[in-house]
Amino acid sequence: MHLYELPIHQLRDKIDRQEVSPAEVLAAFYRRINEVEERVKAYITLTEEQAGVRASEPLSGPLAGVPLAIKDNISTAGIKTTCSSRLLANYVPPYDATVVNRLNQAGAIILGKTNLDEFAMGSSTENSGLYPTRNPWNLECVPGGSSGGSAAAVAAGAAAGALGSDTGGSIRQPAAFCGVVGLKPTYGNVSRYGLVAFASSLDQIGPITKDVADAALLLNAICGHDPLDSTSVDRPQPDYTQFIKEGVQGMRIGLPREYFSMDFDQEVKTSVLAAVQRLEQAGARVEEVSLPSADFALAAYYIIAPAEASSNLARYDGVRYGYRSKQNAKLSEMFTSTRSQGFGDEVKRRIMLGTYALSSGYYDAYYLKAQQARTLIKEDFDQLFKEYDLLISPTTPTTAFKFGEMSDPIDMYQADIFTVPVNIAGIPAISLPCGLDSKGLPIGLQMMGGHFAEGKILQAAYTLEQLLAFKEQPAEVGGAE
């Protein structure tokens, strides 16, 4: 077993027992990065020098010596944070995001910043302003997105764990495509301070890890109240690792009928249902349930998210941040050409959609309607979580697709069908691998819980992980030789 193959909790044990030093662990990960990065392209920036200095200092805390990757829309002081956009290609934040601060306090070491779809808009990293990341299971396939770099890095052993952000599925979908674990926390559980805003009422930062125990460890480190984020919730925090124990006896699990009756990849459906059966055999009570408003979720998301994005992205005018177009006669021309040259096509598409949905005359028909649908969706979930501990669905309707296969943006949006309702309702959800399809690509299973039910989700996910014992490794980059 190579060091880069170990989950965080095992690396920590080795470091604690002084079998390896943080510097040796770090060196092993950079060697691995050198081995696979040319093929996978998970990173935008590597921070080898800073990481080396840190590994030589005394480190303490629950993540002491653990090398992690950070999605490149999370601010890092003194380290470029590009959002994979030409507009921020040379932007160096003057401060750390709260999550980065907390990881540092916990003793973690940052390996580098990972690739994403520009401003986190997309599901494949094909919208990256730099280059796409490739799926370590099959280099002709996308790793998912928008946190595709983070998920691919973890899957390839190029990071022990990573942070992603999830506005409509961007942690869970790439985790599913890359055969790793991705957790989107409850809205307000993790500070968004320093996360470059996409759609502020939906965005949440969370961990992407090799296993469920590691997700609990990282969530412990990053969660909790932050006065710098007004939407962060002040409540007592449990130790999430306490939930890493087996048992689903008596847990009530719902399977949303509306999801399973949709037309999607039969292999995905079969694999998810087989996993559910294992939980049932382990003592969970499983029933079919109804989410009548689920039908509106995708449409509501693709109005609310672009509307918020159009407002959030108004700040990139060439005056204060990043790229500025040169040689313009007038200030208004400078604004226009900076934005025309700086943003990629998908970002422009979202800004136009959002601006349209918010403009007078259309506001009531689109934005207001979408907000009303949002309330209905949230009420559906609230109602179900009075009776059920968890809901289970596939994370994605298909496994990883090939580059270029989703050339119509609407097709790409459809891939978010199972993940966006979670963000709309603000609830937590995890994706974990539950098998491989006949092409050898990983299948993701999604568990959703009520607000702040991360503990329950982690316990059920850990139990399922033990039952399934999914040990496959990505073949393309030479996982477990």
List binders of ligand GLN among 388-417 (CB under 6 A): 416
Nearer to ligand GLN, 335 or 413 (CB): 413
Nearer to ligand GLN, 51 or 120 (CB): 120
In the list 120, 215, 286, 392, the residue contacting ligand GLN (rule: CB under 6 A) is 120
Measured between alpha carbons, how far is residue 294 from residues 88, 254, 276 in Å? Answer: 36, 14, 21
Which range of residues in 75-83, 162-170, 237-245, 465-473 is near ligand GLN by CB under 6 A?
Answer: 162-170
Question: How many residues would you count in the chain?
Answer: 481
Question: Minimum distance from CB of 192 to ligand GLN (Å)?
Answer: 12
Sequence letter at residue 102: R
Q: Please confirm whether the linkage preceding 146 is cis (ω < 30° from 0).
A: yes
Which range of residues in 74-82, 117-125, 189-197, 457-465 is near ligand GLN by CB under 6 A?
Answer: 117-125
What are 183's strand-pairing partners?
Answer: 430
Q: Does 479 bind ligand GLN (CB under 6 A)?
A: no
Question: Minimum distance from CB of 162 to ligand GLN (Å)?
Answer: 15
Q: Are 472 and 229 in contact (CB under 8 A)?
A: no
Q: What is the dihedral of CA 176, 435, 421, 114, to 10 degrees?
A: -10
Question: Minimum distance from CB of 435 to ligand GLN (Å)?
Answer: 23
Q: Are 123 and 169 in contact (CB under 8 A)?
A: yes
List binders of ligand GLN among 193-222 (CB under 6 A): 198
What is the β-pairing status of strands 43-46 and 161-166?
unpaired
Q: How far apart are CA 423 and CA 192, in angstroms?
A: 14
Which residue, chain included where needed, has tokens 């759609």? Answer: 199
Question: Minimum distance from CB of 319 to ligand GLN (Å)?
Answer: 26
Q: Does 144 bind ligand GLN (CB under 6 A)?
A: no
Q: Are 256 and 289 in contact (CB under 8 A)?
A: yes
Q: Does 122 bind ligand GLN (CB under 6 A)?
A: yes
Which range of residues in 152-160, 163-171, 284-292, 429-437 is near ligand GLN by CB under 6 A?
Answer: 163-171
The beta-strand segments (E) located in 131-224 are 161-166, 181-184, 204-209
Nearer to ligand GLN, 126 or 166 (CB): 166
List binders of ligand GLN among 165-184 (CB under 6 A): 166-170
Q: How far apart are CA 59 and CA 137, in angstroms?
A: 34
- Kindly list the residues in this chain that would bind ligand GLN in the complex (CB under 6 A): 120-123, 146, 166-170, 198, 305, 416
